[in-house]
């Protein structure tokens, strides 16, 4: 399984941090109708229950915002992916479609409030270390272009930064050619909900992306 570690500087800034790492083989397809029906039901449910001002108070998102501030990043300017997704759900009653694997990831995120990274394992080189972004560190976010990741929690490998809780990178993005997939659920709590989120992810990936050969591990601060 992909080696994942938490850096000392991030551990000091976010002492409750833990990562649920889920690696599996998947079959990527542009759209899964049954999965999308499930997502629409969740969108309608959340739209009826939540107001925009409630989102930042959800436990997983509140803990994530505190961690961003501890690292030196403004979570209102650089929104966490889970918060951005939920704001889209509440404001527009919609989510964008990507592919069945990323759509499943997004369903877990809006259901739990956890920001989640999704990566093509073949594009990660060496150990993935979760640390804090440096000044002028290069990073191309999916759909965002060059992203300022200074003082932001960030995953790095031997080639540099490849993932943040605000936006995953183009370099390690999931595509039709992806066969081995890595999902990292980021919990700054720690929260009792992480186990449930992990099980939900496994079930969705199995049902809607024909996922097999699962390897799952919990990475905590040493």
> Residue 222: its pLDDT value, please?
79
Query: Do residues 205 and 101 make contact, with C-beta atoms less than 8 angstroms apart?
Result: yes
Query: Chain-wide mean pLDDT for the chain?
Result: 96
Mean pLDDT of 53-73: 96
Measured distance between the N- and C-terminal CA atoms of the chain, rounded to whole angstroms: 19
Angle between helices 33-49 and 194-209 (to 10 degrees): 150
Domain at 211, CATH number: 3.50.40.10
pLDDT tens digits for 6-18?
A: 999 999 999 999 9
CB under 8 Å, gap of 24 or more: what pairs does 54-58 form?
55/83, 55/86, 55/87, 55/90, 56/83, 58/86, 58/113
Q: CB neighbours of 5 closer than 8 A, spacing ≥ 6?
A: 127, 128, 129, 130, 219
> Residue 105: its pLDDT value, please?
98
Q: CB neighbours of 108 closer than 8 A, spacing ≥ 6?
A: 114, 116, 185, 197, 200, 201, 204
| Residue ranges making up the domain that contains 29 | 4-220
pLDDT tens digits for 40-59?
A: 999 999 999 999 999 999 99
**Residue 20 — very low, low, confident or very high, per pLDDT cuts 50/70/90?**
very high
* Domain count of the fold of the chain: 1
> Residue 30: its pLDDT value, please?
95
Considering the chain, what percentage of its residues have pLDDT values greater than 70?
A: 100
**Residue 77 — very low, low, confident or very high, per pLDDT cuts 50/70/90?**
very high
CA separation for the pair 111, 207 (Å, rounded): 17
Q: What is the DSSP string of 105-173?
A: HHHHHHHH--EEEEEEGGG--S-EEEEEPPTT---EETTTEE---TTSEEEEETTEEEE-SS-BBSTT-
pLDDT tens digits for 148-182?
A: 999 999 999 999 999 999 999 999 999 999 999 99
Mean pLDDT of 132-157: 95
> Residue 154: its pLDDT value, please?
98
pLDDT at 144 over 90: no
Mean pLDDT of 117-136: 98
């Amino acid at each position: 399984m992909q080696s994942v570690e938490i850096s000392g500087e991030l551990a000091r800034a976010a002492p409750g941090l833990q990562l649920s790492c889920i690696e599996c083989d998947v079959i990527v397809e542009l759209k899964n109708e049954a999965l999308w029906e499930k997502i629409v039901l969740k969108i309608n449910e959340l739209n009826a229950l939540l107001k925009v001002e409630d989102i930042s108070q959800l436990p997983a998102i509140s803990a994530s915002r505190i961690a961003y501030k501890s690292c030196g990043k403004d979570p209102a300017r650089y929104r966490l992916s889970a918060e951005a997704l939920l704001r889209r759900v509440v404001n527009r009653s919609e989510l964008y479609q990507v592919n069945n694997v990323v759509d499943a990831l997004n369903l877990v995120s809006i259901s739990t409030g956890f920001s989640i990274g999704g990566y093509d394992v073949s594009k990660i080189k060496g150990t993935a270390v979760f640390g804090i972004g440096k000044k002028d560190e290069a990073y191309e976010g999916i759909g965002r272009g060059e992203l300022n990741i200074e003082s932001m929690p960030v995953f790095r490998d031997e080639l540099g930064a490849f993932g943040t809780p605000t936006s995953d990178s183009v370099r390690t993005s999931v595509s039709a050619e992806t066969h081995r997939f890595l999902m990292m659920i980021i919990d700054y709590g720690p929260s009792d909900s992480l186990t449930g989120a992990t099980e939900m992810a496994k079930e969705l990936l199995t049902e809607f992306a024909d996922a097999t050969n699962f390897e799952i591990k919990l990475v905590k601060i040493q």
